[in-house]
Amino acid sequence: METIIILHIILVFMIIGSLITVEIRNMLSAVISVGAVGFALSLAFLFLDAPDIAITQVIVEILSLVILIRATIKVDNVAIEKREHILSDRTALIFVGMILVFAWFAFQSLPTFGEPSMRVSQYYLMNGLREVGATNFVTSVILDYRAYDTLGEAMVLFTSISGAFVILRRWKKEQDKDFLRIDREH
Amino acid sequence: MDKHTGMTPIVKMITEVLCGLMLVFGAFIVLYGHITPGGGFPGGVMIALVYILITLAYGRVIVERKVSGIIASVVDDIGALIFWSVGMIGLFVGGSYLFNFLGKGSPFHILSAGTIIINNIAITLKVGMCLYAIFLALAILQRVVIDEPKEEEE
Amino acid sequence: MTLYFLDFVLFAIGIYALVAKRHIVKKILGVAIMEYSVNLFLILIGFKKAGVAPILTKDMDLVTFIKTAVDPLPQALVLTSIVIGLGTLALMVSIAIRLYERYGTFDMHEINRLRG
């Protein structure tokens, strides 16, 4: 019972943090408050009995904060004063409200909180120790039962990183500043 | 050169002390990933964070003498190749791709669970070096933007 | 049930930031908030009351462990999705930096007006 109350508190904190992120003027403060939301999320994972994901979320959050601060620091640091068209603002709010109303009906058909329907996972839990031998069942799902998924997701990571490289690549006169040639340069 | 020598001596000293500990902890997370919480993904990001910390503290030029971008991409490809070849060996030995062809061992020991430990190391190399390479590219771009903002206009 | 709803409020805030804000970095932060919300939703579905983490320790009985462990499958999927979210975040940030370098602004309307 205490776990559920703590989860409510953490979720309210996350909602407040993301509202600050959306509405604050200074971009550096926005980035830092989204970092606070991420750390609160890792705390929530810890209370939901998922220590693997809590570790991953903390470490990934640090790295994404570094990347986002790298992007926003030293360029113009203030949000844009002018707003979107007033119509688009209100349309977005109406749209979001409709989504929330329909989501409330959709949640009625989900399994109740705290009683998951574990049809596939029951097999993994029963046979995991005998068939794989790993005592961390999350790892045995990632790298044995569903290793093909992991291979595909590694490819997705590779694709996004190569897309970033293509975008960041220097052309023509800037080519000699490319980091692939830095060894010859220095 | 003097612009890129990094932060103050305090930060450099703390980095010197912390880096070894962080590398050891990352290796622990990876190697014990099938017994305790952890695994290839968080361990890889942590090893990338070590190099990013060195980059932030000492500057880009110093760290690129140790691990340059080209070494990072080669190590990344080696990780992908290890994962792929484990899958192919499984295909030839056991009849299905990514078959767990090594012995299961006894539980709660580091040498158990067959190919999981090899795959963990492969994923570590892949994720860590990918993220380190993207950070290097972003750092270089940032420098160019600050130093010569007018050069992009044609 | 209220936990699901609060989680969905978080998702709606992300959608609002994505649709109604003009700053590119605000849009990126909106996508990041949506990603947090979806990851948390998947883990909430797999949670079991008075459960234990799906990691076996030496002093634990296997039969009671199978009865009380939480669902390991969503945890495995979310674990990879978090790292992939970092990759896509890096991609979006590099696109934003490239746009700033080209046009000198982060304002989407300004960019559309200049070349669009």
Residue A185 pLDDT grade (very low, low, confident, very high; cuts 50, 70, 90):
very low
User: ipTM surpassing 0.90, yes or no?
Assistant: no
**pLDDT over threshold 50, residue A41:** yes
Say what percent of chain A tops pLDDT 90. 8
Compute φ and ψ for C48, nearest 5 degrees.
-120, 135
| pLDDT band at C38; cut points 50, 70, 90 | very high
The CATH number assigned to the domain with range C2-114 reads 1.10.287.3510
Q: Which of A124, A51, C70, C83 is nearest to B38 (CA)?
A: A51
Quick one: pLDDT at residue B111?
73
**DSSP H helical segments within A108-146, as ranges?**
119-131, 137-140
A23 to A18, A79, A161, C35: CA distances (angstroms): 9, 9, 30, 19
Q: Where are the domains of chain B?
A: 2-152
**Which chain A residue shows the shortest CA-CA distance from B100?**
A144
Tokens standing for residue C15: 């959608």
Instruction: Give the closest of B127, B141, B149 to C97, CB-based.
Output: B141
Inter-chain residue contact C15 with A64, CB threshold 8 Å: no
Structure tokens at B101: 């062809």
pLDDT beyond 70 at B85: yes
Name the residue type at position C25.
Answer: V
The answer to whether the beta carbons of residues B114 and A42 sit under 8 Å apart is: no
Structure confidence at residue A184 as a pLDDT band (50, 70, 90): very low
How does the average pLDDT of chain B come out, rounded?
Answer: 78
In a 3-state reduction of DSSP, which class is residue A74? Answer: coil
Nearest residue, CB atoms, B34 vs list A67, A134, A177: A134
What's the rounded mean pLDDT across residues C38-51? 86
Contact A88, A76 (CB under 8 A): no
* pLDDT number for residue C50: 79
Side-chain half-sphere exposure of C93, counting CA atoms within 13 A: 28
- Whether residues B107 and C102 touch (CB distance < 8 A) is answered with no
